[in-house]
């Protein structure tokens, strides 16, 4: 017995067909619009996010300044700054701001640094100690990864909305079919199933 092969009809919702229902055409338009919004909307959202990250990194580079500081206490035996693999510890440093005022705060310094050693710290526009600004490469990596995540997330949300609309159309279609079968069975005087 030879296996029968069914030809897959592409774009069947767009062709003239007496069996085509209005919901089939609506579904075709929803899917088409969904793909357009997923691709274009995801691309725009990703590019906008990447640009925002690049602007923020540029703002950091413009605002943050390197400042020479003096270590107030020995760093030996202090707690690591970030984790067991970090070779810097938190210790108190003192520095002079551009306006001539003296500030004291904790900063990350090398493990074996002694009191009186000179270290370099980064300060923000308000004179508080902060991390150094992102380098050009780090900013580009953050922008690419952030843009990709936001673009994929935006596209995923649109596609979930398309899926929900398609599910609603399918439920409506199944209810219509059930009503049609009920009407036909009642007219002929017998029930299927």
| 78/98 Cα distance (integer angstroms) | 29
| pLDDT at res. 144 | 95
What was the pLDDT predicted at 149? Answer: 96
| 29 and 59 part of one domain | yes
pLDDT in tens, 121-168: 888 878 888 888 889 999 999 999 999 999 999 999 999 999 999 999
Q: Are residues 76 and 161 in the same domain?
A: no
98 and 150, same structural domain?
no
The pLDDT assigned to 125 comes to: 79
Stronger pLDDT, 119 or 79, i.e. the higher one: 119
C-alpha 35/C-alpha 166 separation (Å) is 13
Residue 191 included in any domain: no
Within a domain: 18: no
Q: Is residue 95 part of a domain?
A: yes
Stretch 6-35: mean pLDDT, rounded?
A: 78
Per-residue pLDDT at 61 exceeds 70: yes
The better pLDDT of the pair 34, 6 is held by 34
Q: What are the residues whose beta carbons fall under 8 Å from the beta carbon of 152, sequence distance 6 or more? A: 42, 46
| Whether the model pTM is above 0.95 | no
> Is the domain of 148 the same as that of 104?
no
- Give the DSSP per-residue string, 148-187: HHHHHHHHHHHHHHHHHHHHHHHHHHHHHHHHHHHHHHHH
Let me know if residue 156 belongs to a domain: yes
Domain count for the chain: 2
Q: Which range (28-37, 56-65, 77-86) has the least confidence?
A: 77-86
pLDDT of res. 25: 83
């Amino acid at each position: 017995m030879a296996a029968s092969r069914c030809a897959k009809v592409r774009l069947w919702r767009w062709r003239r067909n007496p069996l085509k229902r209005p919901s089939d055409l609506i579904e075709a338009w929803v899917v088409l619009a969904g793909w357009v919004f997923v691709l274009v909307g995801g691309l725009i959202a990703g590019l906008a996010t990447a640009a925002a990250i690049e602007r923020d990194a540029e703002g950091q580079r413009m605002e943050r300044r390197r400042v020479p500081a003096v270590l107030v206490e020995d760093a030996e035996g202090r707690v690591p700054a970030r984790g067991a693999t970090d070779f810097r510890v938190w210790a108190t440093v003192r520095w002079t701001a551009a306006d001539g005022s003296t500030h004291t705060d904790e900063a990350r310094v090398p493990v074996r640094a002694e009191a009186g050693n000179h270290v370099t710290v980064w300060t923000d526009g308000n004179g508080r100690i902060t991390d150094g600004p992102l380098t050009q490469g780090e900013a580009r990596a953050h922008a690419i990864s952030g843009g990709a995540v936001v673009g994929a997330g935006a596209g995923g949300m649109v596609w979930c909305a398309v899926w929900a609309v398609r599910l609603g159309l399918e439920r409506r279609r199944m209810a219509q079919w059930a009503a049609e079968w009920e009407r036909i069975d009642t007219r002929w005087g017998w029930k299927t199933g």
